[in-house]
Amino acid sequence: MDSFAELWEMVKEECKNQVSESIYNVWFKDMELVSFDDNKVVIALSDFKRKIVESRFMDKLESSFKNVIGFDIQIILVDVEKAVPVKAEETEDALTDEDTFDSFIVGASNKFAYAAANAVANDPGGKYNPLFIHGNSGLGKTHLLNAIAHQVKLTHPEANIVYTRGESFTNELVKYIGQKSTEAFHDKYRNADILLVDDVQFIAGKDSTQEEFFHTFNALYQAGNQIVLTSDRPPKEIALLEDRLRNRFEWGLMADIQSPDLETRMAIIKRKAEVLNFDLPDDIVQYIAEKLKNNIRQLEGAVKKMQAFVTMQGMPVNIMTAQTAIKDIIVDNSPTPVTINKIVTEVARTYGADSADIYSKKQNAQTTEMRQMAMYIVREMTGLSTKLIGREFNRDHSTVVYSLDKFTKRYHEDSKLRSVVDNIIKNIRDGR
């Protein structure tokens, strides 16, 4: 382990295995590593989130660190506004040379997306422009972006490859506007030979960002430069995405990635075990693959966790140890229950916002609309009473009743809003 950043990324991956995706996105995703000295680590997050994590999720955070570094450590949570972040590490989005086409496990669920990415890497700016890859989180979309970049570097070392995430594109634009240096922003993105954008759905609902991305897209496309985008859903299902962008995203080739089948999951587990120099018998490989069905990161995390149990605690390589490794992330065949956190996370994601805003006391127009929408969907999907909804959102009963009445009226009168709500409900039911 060579750096703060590497350690922190491993801990965050372990956290993902300890809690559900919605809980991770709400409470863990925005944590920032401040310092790591001796047996003490300092982590910064908003004061609101800090209090919740301290009271409800501290054990998960502590066990995640222990599973990665092998010993207990004192964790101190501080208000992000008062913290001094680690300065030695570069925090901008970066590509990795570890994710290549050779290391990507191809199966029936992803072979089309793999072939499309390979074709783009070998003929950037050719007939598959833009390439739009979509699928649920943890299925290999980011791996394919890295693989494209790696291959292009080998064949076109002079190429200017720019990689970013939808959320980072927005944040960077805001920073450049504040510095009154938007020309530098234009130069960075519009001079790219290949633009790779991960999670592009996060630009939806942000007018200035979509305007800038529209002109960036046009400049690159007209110059014959390659654009590759990934999203957790196809363009037509990205609510609040401008029609002109939706149309452009569909100009080229769209490729989806599904959850891997059993044989592919087994191959992924074996590959990860080989990388870790960890010998796993076939019966254990099959056991893990049969239990974890929907997420490649979970498969890889289970292998890393089992290796930690074996090497650090001397546990045997058997089914019982495998059961212990996956007990917190196991997924059975029963439908995932609809939770309020899941609804809030999906509403916030649709608006490209932070889930914590919905629970906060903010009263700006977008936050108020998100909060009312979340309350409405909670009522429709869970049947909770207005009293219980108020308790979940920290609002009094009269406020909840007013919010629901107001939003219900808007829902029936505004077809565009109704489409957004219906799409969110569909995504939640489909388990996106």
Q: Are 134 and 238 in contact (CB under 8 A)?
A: no
pLDDT attached to residue 90: 38
At which of 210, 235, 256 does a domain end? 256
**Is residue 311 located within the same domain as residue 174?**
no
Residue 318 lies in a domain: yes
pLDDT by residue (tens digit) across 213-230? 999 999 999 999 999 999
Query: Residue 25: how many CB atoms within 10 A of its CB?
Result: 22
pLDDT by residue (tens digit) across 337-355? 557 888 998 898 888 888 8
**Is residue 319 located within the same domain as residue 405?**
no
**By percentage, how much of the chain surpasses pLDDT 70?**
91
The CATH number of the domain where 344 resides is what? Answer: 1.10.1750.10
pLDDT attached to residue 256: 94
pTM for this entry = 0.63
pLDDT by residue (tens digit) across 79-129? 766 554 443 333 345 677 788 999 999 999 999 999 999 999 999 999 899
Q: Work out how many domains the chain is built from and give that number.
A: 4
**Is residue 189 located within the same domain as residue 238?**
yes
**Is residue 174 located within the same domain as residue 290?**
no
pLDDT band at 251 (very low <50, low <70, confident <90, very high): very high
**Is residue 306 located within the same domain as residue 424?**
no
Residue 235 DSSP SS3? helix
The CATH number of the domain where 326 resides is what? Answer: 1.10.8.60
Residue 356 lies in a domain: yes
pLDDT attached to residue 49: 86
- Indicate whether 431 pLDDT > 70: no
pLDDT attached to residue 94: 67
Domain boundaries, position 287: 262-332
At which of 224, 241, 256 does a domain end? 256
Interior angle at CA 12, CA 84 and CA 359, nearest 5: 75
Interior angle at CA 346, CA 345 and CA 347, nearest 5: 95
Range with the lowest mean pLDDT among 162-166, 262-266, 332-336?
Answer: 332-336
Residue 97 lies in a domain: no
pLDDT attached to residue 117: 97
**Is residue 252 located within the same domain as residue 270?**
no
pLDDT attached to residue 2: 43
**Is residue 119 located within the same domain as residue 227?**
yes
At which of 230, 256, 282 does a domain end? 256
- Indicate whether 359 pLDDT > 80: yes
